[in-house]
Structure 1
Amino acid sequence: MSLPVTAEPPVLIEEWEVLDLLTSLVDKSLVVYEEDERGVSRYRLLETVRQYAHDHLVASDQSTAARDRHRDWFALYAEQSLVPLCDTGSGWDQVEFEYPNLLAALEWCVAEKNCLDATRRLLMVLSPFWDLHGRVSEGRQVCSQLLAMSKTKQATGTTLALMLEAGNLANLQQDYALGRALLEEALYLGQESRDTFSAASALHYLGHATLMQGDLPVARSYFEQSLRLQQDLGQTAHMPHILLNLGHIARFEQRFDRARGYYDEAIARCREQDPSDHLILAHPFMNLGHVARLTGNFTEAQRCYRESLHRFVDVDARSGIAYNLEGLACLAASMGAYSRAPRLFGAADALRQAIQTPVPPVDRASYADALQATRSTLGDETFEIMWAQGHAMTLEQAVEYALEDGAEP
């Protein structure tokens, strides 16, 4: 027999009463008290109690106000607490734990139309979470579903933010046609609504996608347009990313001194903004490793790759780890350390398969050259054995192998 759900007026309590009431509910086994490894305490309802409370809330006239408060709290929590923690690598477990709440808050942003500010704050955490932790497909599915909902709600601001994220995630999986269509529509919407920040972001993502496909002149044009808009806004937060991408263009054009200058400036800007942000510093160090390798400075290349890899590992940035393993594999091939190269390539390939982000087209030729040189030296049978050994490594084993003390690359 089920009891009818009725809406009753809420009973207001004083702030000082909350802890006593929670303790009482724990004693009655209606609420569970938990403490994580950092000593952070948390209370949660038993699922049956939570569902019962949810039904009462939905039946009341307090549902909208409660979801508004939930959305606003988690948007602020994402920006002020989770983002700083994740920048240093210590917050991703908390993001995983709060993931259902973050998604629920994002969904309510769409349901309530133009909640652009809250949407952006939530995506500040969700976007790198999807990208770095091998959940790009999941992120794409979430954005696709919410985009469809936002268009029916005519939530222009929220639609724009989701469109940018969906386009970026599509490009990460090399779905460039869809990614370009989404980003060009986002650029148009940003320009039409005079949302300069979104327009600049769309241009930046378009530049990165074009760069990864090897169209350097068009990529440079996108980045320069994005830079001008950000300068008009007085924005400096994205400057390291633009410098990094301009460095990529110079590197692919074999203008190595210019590339090194861009990467060095990106590192300086990163340290000015937040010296504790391991992720943003990892990228220029890795690319300085590429430049050093391509110019024959193998000792410097190894130092830069390892510095970068440590930082990627600190924040569990798996896409960055894959790139780094590939860089070290190319370095091993360049130095004639042919027993290491196929293992590192195999480990990187296994990681890319797991996170569903293939090698970008712009990098394939250089990787193919290193693989061919290694295979020709070792012979097919030995190469395949060593590749399989690397492919079978766990992520931890691959990182340990790449960072072995005293090992040649």
Structure 2
Amino acid sequence: LSRALEHSEVERYPYLCANLWYGSGVLTRMHGDLPQASVYLNESLQLWKGLNDHYHIGLTLNSLGVVLFNQSEYARAGELFAENLLLYEELGEANRVAIALNNLGNVAFKQGDLERAAMYYHQALQLMEGDQSHRRTVALLKLNLGEIARLRKEYAQSATLLHECVVINLELNDTENILFCLNNLVEIAIDQGQHALAAQVLGAAEALYEQSGAARSPVEAEDYDRQVAAVHARLAVDRFELAWSQGRAAILEELITEAIHSILDA
């Protein structure tokens, strides 16, 4: 990478180098090195600005916003998402507009404004209504609305939305958002007192992290530690370890379906 991005190569192949910086930033973010991801993405952003490529400027602003978001810098992330939204509205890119609205919803969510977050998510989902070519975006929006329903203790609605979301994500092999769905299922199971189920889903999530090589963000790590402690407090060690190992060994799609049914029946 460093050799390909020497100054002379950047001048000769600016589009290639901008894409290399961008791809490196996204991969580095997924593996948990957020400061280095920010460095790569900022290099990419400067090249796209020099090329006056508004589509890729917006794409990189969004990715930088995600890095800041994962570092809990919500106000700064929101500024980048808002800038990204304006760019894609001008370009008429409906899917990218929906993603920007989703991310603004995420910021509102983290700032404790569930009503504003739900407004952004619903607005984005309406924009995507009937769109079969961007199912990943639709799944993401349903995931986020499912999380809000969970926090409102509307568990049946939450489970239904999460199931619709995870069906799409399993087809697309979208590991990151499958893990978000699993996280929400754990929270519902804990709230409902289904601690063995929560341990199974935690075990399945741990197996998926290992298989994919994905890393937990600092926020996700805090959630995980809290969930494990909550389940440990209610289950004997042998029962926890049994349920955990069952979850790790389970076929993921089957476990999720069983978890959804258990939540709906509770």
Task: Note whether the superposition's TM-score is higher than 0.5.
Answer: yes
What amino acid sits opposite 2:151 in the alignment?
Answer: L
| Map of 2:122 onto structure 1 | 264
Which of the numbers 176, 192, 195 marks the counterpart of 2:50? 192
1:113-167, Cα deviation, whole Å (9 max, x unpaired): xxxxxxxxxxxxxxxxxxxxxxxxxxxxxxx489559963731012112221221
| Map of 1:339 onto structure 2 | 196
| Map of 1:354 onto structure 2 | 211
Distance 2:128 2:8 in 1: 37
Decide whether aligned partners of structure 1 residues 404 and 150 sit closer, same or farther in structure 2, where only a CA change above 3 A counts.
farther
Q: CA deviation at 1:214?
A: 1.3
Matches within 5 A, 1:94-133: none
1:19-66, Cα deviation, whole Å (9 max, x unpaired): xxxxxxxxxxxxxxxxxxxxxxxxxxxxxxxxxxxxxxxxxxxxxxxx
| Map of 1:160 onto structure 2 | 18
* Greater helix proportion: 2
1:279-331, Cα deviation, whole Å (9 max, x unpaired): 22111111111111112211211111111112212323233222212211111
The answer to whether structure 1 residue 289 and structure 2 residue 146 are counterparts is yes
Q: CA deviation at 1:270?
A: 1.6
Q: CA deviation at 1:400?
A: 4.0
Which of the numbers 72, 77, 82 marks the counterpart of 1:214? 72
For these two proteins, the number of residue pairs brought into alignment is: 265
Which of the numbers 224, 234, 238 marks the counterpart of 1:367? 224
Decide whether aligned partners of structure 1 residues 392 and 148 sit closer, same or farther in structure 2, where only a CA change above 3 A counts.
farther
The answer to whether structure 1 residue 277 and structure 2 residue 134 are counterparts is yes
1:256-287, Cα deviation, whole Å (9 max, x unpaired): 11111111112111225x23533221111111
Distance 1:371 1:156 in 2: 47
Matches within 5 A, 1:248-259: 248-259=106-117
Question: What runs of 5+ residues in structure 1 fail to find an aligned partner?
Answer: 1-143
CA contact under 8 A between 1:332 and 1:408: conserved in structure 2?
Answer: no
* Structure 2 SS opposite 1:159: helix
What amino acid sits opposite 1:295 in the alignment?
Answer: R
The answer to whether structure 1 residue 182 and structure 2 residue 40 are counterparts is yes
| Map of 1:22 onto structure 2 | none
Which of the numbers 207, 218, 238 marks the counterpart of 1:381? 238
CA contact under 8 A between 1:247 and 1:259: conserved in structure 2?
Answer: yes
Which of the numbers 223, 241, 247 marks the counterpart of 2:99? 241
TM normalised by structure 2 equals 0.89
Distance 2:262 2:37 in 1: 41
Question: What runs of 5+ residues in structure 2 fail to find an aligned partner?
Answer: none
1:163-187, Cα deviation, whole Å (9 max, x unpaired): 2122112111111122111111111
Distance 2:6 2:253 in 1: 40
What amino acid sits opposite 1:185 in the alignment?
Answer: E
* Structure 2 SS opposite 1:296: coil
Distance 1:207 1:327 in 2: 23
Decide whether aligned partners of structure 1 residues 406 and 172 sit closer, same or farther in structure 2, where only a CA change above 3 A counts.
closer
Decide whether aligned partners of structure 1 residues 406 and 242 sit closer, same or farther in structure 2, where only a CA change above 3 A counts.
closer
Which of 1 and 2 has greater Rg? 1
Distance 1:345 1:146 in 2: 42
Distance 1:390 1:366 in 2: 18
CA contact under 8 A between 1:267 and 1:281: conserved in structure 2?
Answer: yes
Which of the numbers 178, 182, 193 marks the counterpart of 1:321? 178
TM normalised by structure 1 equals 0.60
Which of the numbers 173, 194, 216 marks the counterpart of 2:31? 173
Q: CA deviation at 1:219?
A: 0.6
Distance 1:174 1:261 in 2: 30
* Structure 1 SS opposite 2:129: helix
| Map of 1:298 onto structure 2 | 155
Distance 2:143 2:65 in 1: 20
CA contact under 8 A between 1:323 and 1:348: conserved in structure 2?
Answer: no
Q: CA deviation at 1:235?
A: 3.4
The one of the two structures with greater contact order (alpha-carbon pairs below 8 A, sep at least 6) is 2
Sequence identity, in percent?
24
CA contact under 8 A between 1:278 and 1:314: conserved in structure 2?
Answer: no
CA contact under 8 A between 2:101 and 2:124: conserved in structure 1?
Answer: yes
